[in-house]
Amino acid sequence: MTMTTLSSEGRLRRLCGGMIKRNRSFMLYFGVLLFVLYPLQYTLHIFDENFDKRLANAANGFGSINLLGGANDHLTETTAILLCMAVFLMTLVIGLSQFAYLHSKKAVDVYHELPVNRSTLALSNIIAGFVTVMLPLAANYLLVLVVGVVKRATNPLFPIIGGGLIVDLLCWAVVVFAVLSIIAFVAVQVGSIFDNFLFSCELLVVFPAVIYLTINLFQQMLRGYSYSNNDFRWLLYTSPITLMIEHYSSGHKTMADTRYLQCLLVVVVWLLITLLLLWLTMKLYRKRPSEIAESSTARKPLVQLGVLAGTYIGGTLCGLLFSQISSRLDERYSFVIWTVIFSALIYVMAQVILQRGFKGIGKSLLPGAVTVGAIAVFCIILATGGLGYETRVPAAADVKSVSVDYRGRYSNNTLLLAETQSTYEDEKMPGVTFYNYRSKGDVDLDTPAGIAAVQRLHQVAGDRTLDNTAGENRYWTSSLIITYTLQNGRRLTRNYDYNELGAVKHELLALENTEEFKKETHPVFMMDAKNFASFVVNDALGFYQANITAQADMQRLMDALKADMLAEDLTKLEDVVELAPCYITFEPATPTNCLQLDRDAYNEGRVMVRSSYTNTLQVLRQLGLEQFVEPRIEEIAEMRVYYDNHFYRNNSPIVMMDMGNLKQYAKDMHHSYDVEEQDSMVSLVTDASQMARITSKMFNLGCIDTTPMSVVFYDAEGNYGGCAQIRTEDLPAQVLKVFPQWVWEEKGFDVPIAVEATHYESSIAVVGGADGPTEVYVAE
């Protein structure tokens, strides 16, 4: 008879060995799956004929070396996602399978009579599951390393990836260990494999899911709620199954990246959490009654967490969905009602699933009422403004400074940030260093006037009774972020969609009108003439252009502009348009990619010179540039009105024509449309009275919410000049009638088509349309 003496470690080792041996087929299958998803894809990718070219370009400074994703570029993006999914799925399957014995009466008899204590048994199963998943994974990583080394041998530019792979594998080890430990933790507390699956998934996804949903609810329901997309990565830290996604995306550039290191720190935290969980699992397992196998028993905290999370997630999601469908009520209150209804239904459904039927459901009614009640209270808080969240504006005394990601009408004048400087080399110019900069997207204000203007803007923007439909024809698509830095060092941020801000035109103008804002957003207040090579002056009609190169003249102009811009009252521009006589372009002295900055600076700029800029116009006169002081309307021999428009659209209520491209726009329109064509998109205007009407109404700057049309000017010789804009309602009826009705409808023109004449004291024109003549009432 052969007899051996086994210590606890010996039994653990032998038990694990047996389990791993039985998992051989699974390992083989998993290994092949991983091979297809990872080393094969990687090999195909790096041996692609274009890959070497891109690698060479990256090495020469054209584009980045990030040809692949992941730490040290060893994964294609598709592979990263599929690899994560495959490993999580397989770990889940193997974990559930390893602990399935706990959920079978027959199996538990065999396992629990074995001469092994329960801790050893649980640990054996975790280790066996761990090896079953990690061995094929490590083998495939090794294969990738071998392929990488081969590639390196054929192309020395190919990066070394060994370190990244080892770090990846270590992270995977922690993640797989954590997932298996969570499954074990649940397995010892429940009676069936279904419950193990259900509650394991609960613990793996509940935290990211609840946080994600809550953030989205805040964004949808709380006006001004601010949560940076970048911060969503914190969600990925809350579960081991999302951790690797963040790990792969964070290590995109270099392993020394802060985000990458932060993710590694979270991996270490997860390792500690897992060890704690494992200790708790052992404690629970030692006390676990074997007889709960095959029952629907589960420990209360697990059930309560699951039911609460399920009710919350399901209830609020259905609430959001149904609040969109039914529009009889205010959307927010509709959301509350539907959420309460669906929370109750989902709660009951969860109980029926957990209790395998309606029996005993009565006992769950009271906790159910409390759960649904808590969700209802939460939703009501959201629907009513988040306990003052929406209306909270910090007192001026508490504010140290405020930042607004809004640079007003001159946001196209780019302020380069010196601290963001990066360099690169061009293979065509070896030895020359080029520079890149990011531009400033916000304005920092710390004067009482500036802060007060932002506070007023914040106050109105936060008002949920604001008329959101005002100004809805504007092309506002971005957001407005206000960040206060308080005296106590804390920050308060609000984020508004421009969709919500139709009615804050007045407040935005008031903000732009503050001296501090003006000084922060235009080169004339920050730069000197010596920073620029020349100033190019263009008249409004596009007939004249002048170049000013003398530093003294340029500086005089800048000084005059400063005075005029500070003196102008932008609030008076509300709902007003005007034709500024000229605009000036500041030409760079050095190309931006050769500019080595030691402070934030503008390298170019533009300014629209309004009729009210008396100082500037005076300097122009003194420089002999009389033709720019006033638009020379009399030189227009004919004009054409196009349905197109060329307004520069930024987030400011003050819209201006794109000064850098007026001539080009005129050229494009001139060549694109034929005035002779029926149903044309262009109307030729030669009649003096009609031209007089158009010139009196046309503009290149102003506050309008409607979409204008373009006017191109021609001189006596038939040469096109520049272009301006005109509101459709300001066009003479005879001009307007050329445009077919579908143009108006498609382009959303505000011309009233076939509406009641009683609204207007108008002349009547009959114009052609797709379905024959249509009566059109045009306001005079």
Partner 1 sequence: MIHAEHLTKAFDGFVALDNLDTTIAEGSIYGLVGSNGSGKSTLLRLISGVYYPNGGWVRINDQDVYENPALKNRIFFLSDDLYFLNKATVDEMADFYSRVYTNFSWEKYAEYKQLFPIDTKKRISTFSKGMKRQAAIMLALSCCPDYLLLDEAFDGLDPVIRLLVKKLIMGEIADRNMTVVVTSHNLRELEDLCDHVGLLHKGRILFERELDDLKLGLCKVQAVLPREVIWDEVGLNVMQCKRQGSVVNLLVRGPAEESLEIVREAGASFAEAVPLTLEEVFIGEMEGVGYDYDNLIF
Q: Is 113 a residue that touches partner 1 (CB under 8 A)? A: yes
- Residues 473-512 touching partner 1, rule: CB under 8 A, are none
Q: Is 83 a residue that touches partner 1 (CB under 8 A)? A: no
Task: Give me the least distance between CB of 357 and partner 1, in Å please.
Answer: 16
For partner 1, the binding residue among 28, 85, 89, 110 (CB under 8 A) is 110
542-to-257, 353, 626, 690, 709 alpha-carbon distances in Å: 51, 75, 15, 20, 17
For partner 1, the binding residue among 31, 47, 58, 117 (CB under 8 A) is 117
Q: Is 682 a residue that touches partner 1 (CB under 8 A)? A: no
For partner 1, the binding residue among 108, 128, 178, 558 (CB under 8 A) is 108
Task: Kindly state the DSSP code that residue 536 receives in the 8-state scheme.
Answer: E
Q: Is 112 a residue that touches partner 1 (CB under 8 A)? A: yes
Q: What track of x and - describes contact with partner 1 for positions 12 through 51 (by CB under 8 A)?
A: --xx-xx---x-----------------------------
Task: Give me the least distance between CB of 130 and partner 1, in Å please.
Answer: 18
Nearer to partner 1, 14 or 45 (CB): 14
For partner 1, the binding residue among 24, 53, 106, 621 (CB under 8 A) is 106
For partner 1, the binding residue among 116, 187, 541, 573 (CB under 8 A) is 116
Contacts of 436 (CB under 8 A, 6+ apart): 420, 421, 422, 423, 424, 593
- Assign 3-class secondary structure to 132-200: HHHHHHHHHHHHHHHHHHHHHHHCCCCCCCHHHHHHHHHHHHHHHHHHHHHHHHHHCCECCHHHHHHHH
Q: Is 562 a residue that touches partner 1 (CB under 8 A)? A: no
Q: Would you say 776 and 763 are in contact if contact means Cβ atoms under 8 Å apart? A: no
Per-position DSSP letters for 743-758, written without gaps between them: HHHHHT----BS--GG
Which two structure tokens, joined as six digits, stand for 546? 């002048």
For partner 1, the binding residue among 49, 50, 115, 634 (CB under 8 A) is 115
Nearer to partner 1, 107 or 466 (CB): 107
Q: Would you say 92 and 199 are in contact if contact means Cβ atoms under 8 Å apart? A: no
Which two structure tokens, joined as six digits, stand for 446? 């710390």
Closest CA to 171 of 116, 123, 237: 237
For partner 1, the binding residue among 53, 105, 356, 490 (CB under 8 A) is 105
Q: What CA–CA distance (Å, rounded) separates 670 from 641?
A: 10
Nearer to partner 1, 12 or 751 (CB): 12
Q: Would you say 544 and 629 are in contact if contact means Cβ atoms under 8 Å apart? A: no
Q: Is 716 a residue that touches partner 1 (CB under 8 A)? A: no
For partner 1, the binding residue among 67, 88, 96, 118 (CB under 8 A) is 118
The residue type at 635: E
Q: Which helix (H) or strand (E) segment is 640 a member of?
A: strand 638-642
Task: Give me the least distance between CB of 108 and partner 1, in Å please.
Answer: 7
For partner 1, the binding residue among 60, 104, 220, 421 (CB under 8 A) is 104
Task: Give me the least distance between CB of 180 and partner 1, in Å please.
Answer: 19
Task: Give me the least distance between CB of 378 and partner 1, in Å please.
Answer: 36
Q: Is 681 a residue that touches partner 1 (CB under 8 A)? A: no
Q: What CA–CA distance (Å, rounded) separates 702 from 725?
A: 10
Q: Which helix (H) or strand (E) segment is 647 a member of?
A: strand 647-648
Nearer to partner 1, 25 or 678 (CB): 25
Q: Which stretch binds partner 1 (CB under 8 A): 99-107, 349-357, 394-402, 482-490?
A: 99-107
Nearer to partner 1, 3 or 325 (CB): 3
Q: Is 74 a residue that touches partner 1 (CB under 8 A)? A: no
Write down the residue that tokens 């005035």 correspond to: 675
φ, ψ for residue 427 (rounded to 5)? -60, -25
Nearer to partner 1, 115 or 388 (CB): 115
Q: What CA–CA distance (Å, rounded) separates 479 from 190?
A: 48
Q: What CA–CA distance (Å, rounded) separates 253 from 130?
A: 30
Q: What CA–CA distance (Å, rounded) separates 767 from 326?
A: 41
Q: Which stretch binds partner 1 (CB under 8 A): 98-106, 249-257, 667-675, 752-760?
A: 98-106
Task: Give me the least distance between CB of 292 and partner 1, in Å please.
Answer: 9
Q: What CA–CA distance (Å, rounded) separates 403 from 493?
A: 9
Contacts of 688 (CB under 8 A, 6+ apart): none
Taking 3-state DSSP, the helix, strand and coil percentages for the chain, each rounded to the nearest 5, stand at 55, 15, 30
Q: Which stretch binds partner 1 (CB under 8 A): 117-125, 212-220, 347-355, 665-673?
A: 117-125
For partner 1, the binding residue among 109, 679, 745, 775 (CB under 8 A) is 109
Task: Give me the least distance between CB of 26 and partner 1, in Å please.
Answer: 11
Nearest 5°: CA angle at 707, between 705 and 710?
135
Task: Give me the least distance between CB of 110 and partner 1, in Å please.
Answer: 5
The residue type at 654: I
Q: Is 107 a residue that touches partner 1 (CB under 8 A)? A: yes
Residue count at the site for partner 1 (CB under 8 A)?
33
Nearer to partner 1, 25 or 258 (CB): 25
Task: Give me the least distance between CB of 101 and partner 1, in Å please.
Answer: 8
Nearer to partner 1, 19 or 486 (CB): 19
Task: Give me the least distance between CB of 293 and partner 1, in Å please.
Answer: 10
Nearer to partner 1, 124 or 680 (CB): 124
Q: What CA–CA distance (Å, rounded) separates 350 from 364?
A: 11
Nearer to partner 1, 108 or 723 (CB): 108
Q: What track of x and - describes contact with partner 1 for positions 275 through 314 (by CB under 8 A)?
A: -----------xx-xxx-----------------------
Task: Give me the least distance between CB of 360 and partner 1, in Å please.
Answer: 12
408: left (phi over 0), alpha (psi -120 to 50) or beta: left
Q: What CA–CA distance (Å, rounded) separates 544 from 534?
A: 16
Which residues form the interface with partner 1 (CB under 8 A)?
1-6, 8, 11, 14-15, 17-18, 22, 104-110, 112-118, 120, 286-287, 289-291
